[in-house]
């Protein structure tokens, strides 16, 4: 499986999860300190940037999805072709 294939599979599965299941995935795979870092980092990043409130609110989620993808990649030992 390539990194691209894994990413598409992850997106399809993640899209089917309800809120409780997403919270379980996050709780099992992401330390609380990491979540706090994402929030603080994006707050600092957004200072002085012209971004809508909605976009600002989604940045921690984007970092979280990237983190989950990287964690999955490491666990599956994906090699990019």
Q: Decide if pLDDT at 81 tops 60.
A: no
Tens-digit pLDDT profile for residues 13-63 = 999 999 999 999 999 999 999 999 999 999 888 887 888 888 888 999 999
Distances (CA, A) of 54 to 27, 35, 38, 39, 75: 24, 18, 16, 14, 32
Residue 12 pLDDT greater than 90, yes or no: yes
Question: What predicted TM-score, i.e. pTM, was given to this entire model?
Answer: 0.79
Angle, helices 53-76/19-29, rounded to nearest 10 degrees: 60
- Identify which has the larger pLDDT, 3 or 62: 62
């Amino acid at each position: 499986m390539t990194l691209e294939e894994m990413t598409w599979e992850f997106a399809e599965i993640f899209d089917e999860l309800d809120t409780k299941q997403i919270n379980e995935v996050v709780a099992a795979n992401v330390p609380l300190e990491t979540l706090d870092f994402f929030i603080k980092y994006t707050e600092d990043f957004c200072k002085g940037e012209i971004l809508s409130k909605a976009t600002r609110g989604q940045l921690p989620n984007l970092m979280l999805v990237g983190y989950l993808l990287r964690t999955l990649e490491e666990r599956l030992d994906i090699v990019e072709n």
